[in-house]
Structure 1
């Protein structure tokens, strides 16, 4: 069977609900590069590994010919420090709080725009 690496990666990204913007930010490339990757039949293993690290996804299941499970384990389940042991959940992630803050700002801006549209115009 002939694999299309880009399509496989795109399917995983979309199935797991990742946004293209988030992936672009995590991999330090622009969104156009992400879409270009999706169209490539053969991606470099370095790019696939980079995406896997950013998304904390083990691509050794989809591409056993390229990776072993051990290559992703250090990224997916890094050793915890004693400080991290006392904290659990997504609350400890700085990107979690950054994304939450951005969503709140976007909602606030949307509400402001709606309010301005509803105000009667003063002559």
Structure 2
């Protein structure tokens, strides 16, 4: 079995991404990151998150990643373009609110 923590550790070191910054982005301590590198069964969610942060694709090293991502994509329903769904309108409202706040900041500040 592949040691997921070692694979992630190697990818992080190769990327040159600072451990301190990675810990900050994960809202964890540096110690937690080093302990994570020792975890042979690191969760696929965590691996995908780290891959996103360091801009690295683990599909070649970790076999389960590709099927896991496919399962996530198939099970997720895309609400972004469904006007009949309240989630669509909520997201649209939040986006407009953020844009409005940015305009206010520019005008006031």
- Smaller-chain TM-score range? 0.5 to 0.7
Higher Cα radius of gyration? 1
Can you list the C-alpha shifts for 1:22-64, whole angstroms capped at 9, x where unaligned? 1111222111110111011111111111111111211112113
Distance in 1, matches of 2:22 and 2:53, equals 7
Using the TM superposition, give the Cα deviation of residue 11 of structure 1 relative to its aligned residue in structure 2, in angstroms.
0.8
TM-score under structure 2 normalisation? 0.56
In structure 1, the partner of 2:21 is: 22
Stretches of 4+ moved more than 2 A in 1? none
* Aligned partners of 2:15 and 2:54 also within 8 Å: no
Using the TM superposition, give the Cα deviation of residue 67 of structure 1 relative to its aligned residue in structure 2, in angstroms.
2.7
Can you list the C-alpha shifts for 1:78-123, whole angstroms capped at 9, x where unaligned? xxxxxxxxxxxxxxxxxxxxxxxxxxxxxxxxxxxxxxxxxxxxxx
In structure 2, the partner of 1:63 is: 62
RMSD: 2.0
Question: Which has the bigger relative contact order, CA under 8 A and spacing at least 6?
Answer: 2
SS in 1 for 2:32: helix
Distance in 2, matches of 1:67 and 1:24, equals 25
Distance in 2, matches of 1:61 and 1:27, equals 23
Distance in 2, matches of 1:61 and 1:25, equals 27
How many aligned positions are there?
Answer: 70
Structure 2 residues without counterparts, runs of 5 or longer: 71-109
Using the TM superposition, give the Cα deviation of residue 5 of structure 1 relative to its aligned residue in structure 2, in angstroms.
0.6
